Amino acid sequence: MRLPVTFGLISACVLVYAAVAALGDRYGVPWNVGLVIQPGQVLNEGALIPALVAEGEASRLVSSVFLHSGAVHLGFNMLSLYFLGSFVEEAFGRSRFLALYLLSGVSGGLAYLYFGGFNAPAVGASGAIFGLLGGVLGYALRRGTFSWQNPLIRQLLILLALNLYLGFSIPNISNTAHLGGLAGGFAFGWLVAPTVYSRKRLRAISPIAVVLGADVLILVAWFLFFV
């Protein structure tokens, strides 16, 4: 299958969305209503809530990436993921693409821990998607192909602006997480630029190790100094 990781991630988000709608029945929210606006009680079981992360639920940094607040939120993010995935997965390769997506999602979550509301939930794949944008922009900048005259870069910058607007328009989404994901993805793209065509395994995985290590250190610092 072409783009297996992209379609796998989209399928995972859609299946999780349907499951959340179905589970809303436990709280008196009919499934057909849950398909339009997700039941908040169910979302909170996996949403990124800094207060709960402080209690040891660090898995929310990942689970929240696969949750969405409503049909518009899901639809816009999945269209963005398809648009970006159709390019980034082939350009970076499947394993690097998946690593970029997940690490960017975590980076966005870490930014929310520092600058979001301590008890306010946040959900969505936007931080990870911003990371895909950042990955391409970081890669292009290091390779010397970053220019408004480049049609791909121009389209990505427009998409970046649209996603920032979305962050101001829909509840439970954070532009703080968007920018954190963008920064994490940019760092990954910058680091992967000289190794994307490399066949040396250790050199190829070094960007993953560096960004993952940085995310771990940032999380540890948050526990030590902000909780």
Q: Of the given ranges (46-55, 103-112, 142-151, 201-210), which has the lowest mean pLDDT?
A: 201-210
- 195: CB partners within 8 A, 6+ apart: 203, 204, 206, 207
Please tell me the distance from the alpha carbon of residue 58 to that of residue 60, in angstroms, as a whole number. 5
Where in the sequence is the domain holding 100, given as residue range(s)?
4-225
Q: What is the pLDDT of residues 126-183, one digit of tens each?
A: 899 999 999 999 998 888 877 778 887 888 888 788 777 766 776 555 688 899 999 9
Sign of CA dihedral 21, 23, 25, 26: negative
What the block records as the tokens of 163 is: 């996603």
Active site residues: 126, 178
Assign residue 47 the CATH number of its domain: 1.20.1540.10
Q: Is the pLDDT of residue 80 over 60?
A: yes
The identity of residue 126, as a single letter, is S
- Rounded Cα–Cα distance for residues 33 and 13 (Å): 18
Number of domains in the chain: 1
For residue 198, what pLDDT is reported? 60
